[in-house]
Structure 1
């Protein structure tokens, strides 16, 4: 039995859509094409926020035309230098793309899915027109989101995307959850601005970074990107969180996302701050942090150049365990 509800009244977080199928319920907000909540049999799988609440930072947002950061908001592409607005002022970077606070249009809804669209207009710092659509779909495997970008300009456009959910394993604290993160390599960053430095084996600080074998998170603080993901026979990588009670959540994606950002949701004000270590951000990404500056790095950033008139599509799935 499936059903869908769409409100005609715009909430603070945008037009709300609620999907229900296979024991899952997903609430989508049109601002940022955001995953507002996801439950299975009534259990939270992500850290939710209310429909009449300004979305806390980028929780659940769809990130485009780049995920993560462009360092200093400056990059070179096609021989030209571009300067973006610094939307992470405390670190001096351009953060999480240009559509995170856009009100996406709802273009299709059925019993278990919704498609939203938005257009990145050519502008200072990003002089390309890119049409972006995303579909959230519930099935027996969980909630799958796909993102498709089409370059409407007459020159190649730099592109990257990813989601920003904070996963919840169960009723216990994050420190008690067991993480399985099948990645051999971590991106080292500067401690103050999180600017990329170099890739290294996760054994460089195994207690903090190496979760190739499942183990309890404990008090570690992570806000790093990982790559060299260990995949199954179908080429899919899966990050799994489990609670001591036996519940859990997993996120799976294919080779379209060679990177994943992991963040233990540590907030500057620390314990007692709403949202502090409330969930684990698991953000599959088509490219590395600061990939728009691809030429500056010795490692493969995964930067995508979408040719004029061409499209790029990628997706991921969140499921209960």
Structure 2
């Protein structure tokens, strides 16, 4: 019997000039290519997935500060999966092995259950469909609360987009967001939601497309400007004329942007190798929504209730 790769069962999708490979561990987008060009930073099938690259984030995206939150009057404590900063990072689904419930040449649906556990005592069924078409790769995530009590919920993807062959510093970035969430320098704890044209936040303003340059970004944005159909779009382009865009629906009022700066710097091959663009149904630390003056967007799933969010990556 053939050994299953470290990243899990591989699901290859093809449609026109597009090819995608989904790995079952974490329902992770391992490869997305258009006419042979990478649109996301890939990884090997038999490679331990680097961090959260391409994974599906659930039942929360981003971080829970100190791994502690209060929900319905009860305090919970999560394992600290970001130990250097002391937070619980990116949920509980990233290392689950998602099972196939439906598949075809251009689509696959995977499902896994977040079981009740210390810090998150709810059972939530997570189902995600990856569908490849002429307009790119669309991922849809659906959650259903199979518990007897309401459950806190949030989700999002974690792709690192690639515009072309040049360095990230040379890529032009367009983000239609009017607000940025400022954070502490050391632990990225949210402090204040500010307009992107405010003096202390103007460096994060990409409403008009401009090169990323040497900017280091690991911040969430909100106040998204959407089209008539309710979609927000991030565009990333290379001087050679290639590019990639990520489009998401109104279920995600937040987006995290990260320039993939790593402590080892340029000596690490993943340092600034791609731009993480993570649409999110809620803000960082949304499980502590009551601590903030803005709407953090925490979803409360009632028993048997469902929640859906969707996003699409396409070549430019």
Question: Smaller-chain TM-score range?
Answer: over 0.9
Which one of the candidate residues 244, 249, 253 is aligned to 1:254? Answer: 249
In the alignment, does 2:83 pair up with 1:89? yes
In the alignment, does 2:184 pair up with 1:202? no
Structure-2 separation of matches of 1:164 and 1:240: 16
Q: Secondary structure at the match of 1:271?
A: helix
Distance 1:247-1:30 versus aligned 2 partners, 3 A rule: same
Structure-1 separation of matches of 2:57 and 2:156: 5
CA contact (8 A) 1:9 1:15 kept: no
* Counterpart for residue 208 of structure 2: 213
Structure-1 separation of matches of 2:22 and 2:203: 33
1:142-181 alignment, distance < 5 Å: 142-181=136-175
1:285-296 alignment, distance < 5 Å: 285-296=280-291
Describe the superposition over 1:49-70 as per-residue Cα deviations: whole angstroms up to 9, x where unpaired.
Answer: 0001000000000000000000
Structure-2 separation of matches of 1:168 and 1:19: 19
CA contact (8 A) 2:115 2:124 kept: yes
Of stretches 100-109 and 272-281 in structure 1, the one that deviates more from structure 2 is 100-109
Of stretches 311-320 and 102-111 in structure 1, the one that deviates more from structure 2 is 102-111
| Uncovered stretches (5+) of structure 2, i.e. residues with no partner | none
Describe the superposition over 1:262-294 as per-residue Cα deviations: whole angstroms up to 9, x where unpaired.
Answer: 000000111121200000000000000000001
Distance 1:55-1:98 versus aligned 2 partners, 3 A rule: same
CA contact (8 A) 1:208 1:221 kept: no
Equivalent residues, number: 315
CA contact (8 A) 1:130 1:152 kept: yes
Structure-2 separation of matches of 1:20 and 1:10: 22
Compute the RMSD of aligned alpha carbons: 1.1
CA contact (8 A) 2:7 2:46 kept: yes
In the alignment, does 2:5 pair up with 1:11? yes
Q: Secondary structure at the match of 2:85?
A: coil
Structure-2 separation of matches of 1:8 and 1:180: 44
* Counterpart for residue 263 of structure 2: 268
Describe the superposition over 1:69-110 as per-residue Cα deviations: whole angstroms up to 9, x where unpaired.
Answer: 000000000110000000100000000000111111122211
Which one of the candidate residues 212, 216, 236 is aligned to 1:241? Answer: 236
* Counterpart for residue 227 of structure 1: 222
Q: Secondary structure at the match of 1:143?
A: strand
Describe the superposition over 1:129-182 as per-residue Cα deviations: whole angstroms up to 9, x where unpaired.
Answer: 000000000011100000000000111100000000000001111000000000
Q: Secondary structure at the match of 2:235?
A: strand
* Counterpart for residue 302 of structure 2: 307
